[in-house]
Amino acid sequence: MGFQRWYAVIPVLGLLVMVMCCVLFSRMKANLSLREKLIAFCRAIPFACLLIFVCVWFALGKVSCGPVFLSGVTFVFTLLGSLSVFRGHLLSTVSVVVGEHSVGSNASPSHSEQRFAVAPNILLLMLAAVYSYVALDILWNDAFFAVQFGFALMGIVALLIIYLFLYFLGQGTCVGVSLGVAFFTVIGIVQYFVVLYKASPILPSDIYALGTAAAVSSGYDLVFTKEVLWLLVACAVILFLLQFMVPAVSCRHAKVAPVVAVNAACALAVGGAALGFFNTADLAGTYGTDKAIWQPLVSYKTQSFMPSFLTLAQQMRLTAPDGYTQDGAEQLEDDYAAVYDSVQEDAAVMAATQFEEVRPTVIAIMNESFSDLSTMDGLGVGYQGPTYLNSLGDAALTGNLSVSVHAGGTANSEFEFLTGNSMAHLGVYFYPYSTFNLSNVQSLPRQFAGLGYKTTAIHPNLASNWSRDKAYAGLGFDEFLDIDDFDGAEWFHSGVSDAATYDKVLELLREDDTPQFIFDLTMQNHGGYTVGDISPNLPLYDFPAVDATLDAQMNEYLTCVERSDQALAAFIEELRTLDRPVVVLFFGDHQPGISSAFNDAMYPGEDELTHAERIYTTTYAIWANYDITGNDQISLRDDLSTNALGAKLMEIIGAPLTDYQKATLAVRSEVPVINSVGYRGADGLWRDLSAEDRLPAVDDLEWLQYLNLGSKV
């Protein structure tokens, strides 16, 4: 690359030629005023910037092409820049009617010329939209030419509306549209590098993390290929053509104000109509776009950048609850926190003192698809559930866990646990990991970091799944170990085994004896359950409620659960011998999809809400390898929901609680459990979230969540 740095002199020569053209123009048009000459020179600025940019990038050794190709690129930029300066002269030579007799002429276009200017302007706007649609995808999307026509049309129309707005905002000149073309070209190039190095697309939430993106970009080798340079050449051509755009309304000096007002009104009308449509239309529901939640890059490739980005952007809308005020929400949080503090006993004080002395490492294991389906009347065959977990006699706390997802949506269970917020106030189809920048949201990793803990997230799969690479960084994890950190690890069923992740946790503990918070999201039990992994050591159940196909799938699922249970047993028994204090929280993220068929077959005719909540239930256990002061560790039970699980964990071990966590726990006296399906009152009855007579405490939770989430994202 060192020798190529000398190629930077080639675009410098192009700049010198462009300067000479400006001098020549100045002499040829000596009768023009200084202002008119400067306007002509300004037309060459975009092309001069392109030459300077290529020069600098070559000087840094960041362009992978030879001198011949660079000379061709330089020639195009120089030629277009020079022609831009002589645009008026060129137009008069070729006798193109555009409404200007010469550059800088004080004469205004005639009415007929103005009418003829409308059609070319529309064509140029359409050209800019089509180019920008291509520029956003062409460098990185290997499925670009397979995108359905409807998605492509949606993207082009969206860009055309943006350019129509910029056209009027720029008073009918090419300035606004040209800036838009340059912007989308840059976005297309940035997307190329993001996909190249992160295997993830640009998400709407990234808008709030531009500073972080700029900071980390220095760690990547941003080398421009020939394809990137070709895109810059195409951009230059479009920018040159846009200079032939002419205001369709005459702008004599005496009528400047009315024309400016008309164009501004048109810009407001276009912008207002576009925003109104965007805020009311459901792109996913009406036009079939995917919400790009599981693997966003896949959706971006199949439906192109613009429709995917806009669909995700629609999910970023969070509205404050009716009557909400910041002061009111803060007072509500203070009141609930005070209630919590008022009922604390001496045991809590002793636990807090112990925590400061012991400072245990905390390991939170969210086990993929793990649940105890013995709660479904033993599945009709006397199934007893996971053997070890159900016999763990010295757990600090166990119980059922009400989650907000079923069969999928793992990231939402993570979100609820790590932030203490509930999907009940967001909706079942909302995905915060892919939608929000969580950098300002309270979280367990940030809370533990504030206590001096090292924080690590573990997930043995692609870091880009559910945008975890971005979400974990936003939540405050110091480190994220993904599939690249499990090379050669044991696999079972759908991925790296639970046992392999526990080995990684033990490795972290051996390497660092300081307090740690480790979040381990396992993978092995992921559906489906048609692989044939059925253990010969377990009973082969014949379930009377369902057919043989589901029999096989459920037997395979129960094998996965038992394998997880065995790995957990080995892990906890290893921790018993460890000479350092450790707390383990184990819980399942959701039930498998097949559980719904069993639920329907075994519990027909019951009320809809109770029926639904059964399949939105998993299990959890909190265990420590030391005696927690104030806790007899005789497996006390308390049914929780995922949003309160983190706060309850902190309470059990005596760690400091935030006011939000205190308020969340205090509300449980009235609403013990809440999830995306409904909530349970103190009387034990499930209630509909959307019912008009819902308990005031649910409204309080919504206010508290908007204070701690909605107002910060």
* Same domain assignment for residues 516 and 613: yes
Which of 59, 77, 107 delimits the end of a domain? 107
| Rounded Cα–Cα distance for residues 266 and 270 (Å) | 6
Say how many C-beta atoms besides its own lie within 10 A of residue 300's C-beta: 28
pLDDT at 431: 83
Structural domain boundaries, residue 484: 359-636
Q: Where do the H-state alpha helices sit in 639-712?
A: 642-653, 659-667, 696-708
pTM of the predicted model, to two decimals?
0.76
Q: Residue 131: inside a domain, yes or no?
A: yes
Question: Pick from 636, 661, 683: which residue ends a domain?
Answer: 636
Distance (Å, whole) CA 72 – CA 229: 10
Residue 406 lies in a domain: yes
Q: Are residues 259 and 369 in the same domain?
A: no
Instruction: Domain count for the chain, please give it.
Output: 3
> In terms of domains, do 515 and 584 share one?
yes
User: What three-state secondary structure class fits 497?
Assistant: coil
Neighbours of 63 (CB within 10 A): 26
The helix or strand, by DSSP H or E, that contains position 623, with its residue range, turns out to be: strand 617-624
102 with 126, same domain: the answer is no
**Predicted pLDDT of residue 41:** 85
Q: What is the dihedral of CA 570, 573, 577, 579, to 10 degrees?
A: 90
Task: State CA 617 to chain mean position distance.
Answer: 26
* CATH (domain of 624): 3.40.720.10
**23: nearest Cα among 89, 108, 86:** 86
- Find, among 647, 639, 665, 589, the residue nearest to 442 by Cα: 647
Tell me whether residue 69 is in a domain: yes
Three-state secondary structure call for residue 401: strand
Low-confidence ranges of the chain (pLDDT < 50): 1-3, 94-113, 212, 215, 253-254
Q: What is the CB-side half-sphere exposure of residue 207 using CA atoms within 13 A?
A: 10
pLDDT of residue 465: 87
**Could you tell me if 92 and 126 lie in one domain?**
no
Last residue of a domain, one of 295, 317, 339: 317
The 3-state DSSP class for residue 221 equals coil
163 and 77 belong to one structural domain? no
- pLDDT tens-digit profile of 273-302? 999 999 888 898 888 888 665 567 888 999
Within a domain: 641: no
Q: Are residues 139 and 101 in the same domain?
A: no
Contact 207, 187 (CB under 8 A): no
What is the pLDDT at residue 101? 41
Residue 325: inside a domain: no
The 3 state secondary structure assigned to 537-585 is CCCCCCCCCCCHHHHHHHHHHHHHHHHHHHHHHHHHHHHHCCCCCEEEE
Closest CA relative to residue 40, chosen from 18, 52, 25: 25
User: Do 56 and 153 fall into the same domain?
Assistant: no
163 with 211, same domain: the answer is yes
Q: What is the pLDDT of residue 106?
A: 38
Q: Which of 514, 512, 507, 450 is nearest to 476 (CA)?
A: 450
SS3 content of the chain, % helix, strand, coil (to 5): 55, 10, 35
Would 605 be classed as within a structural domain?
A: yes
Residue 196 lies in a domain: yes
Q: Are residues 389 and 502 in the same domain?
A: yes
Q: Do 36 and 165 belong to one domain?
A: no
pLDDT of 367 reads 98
Q: Is residue 99 part of a domain?
A: yes
| Residues facing residue 224 across a β-bridge | 63
Cα gap 324→321, rounded to integer Å:
5
Same domain, yes or no, for 79 and 187?
no
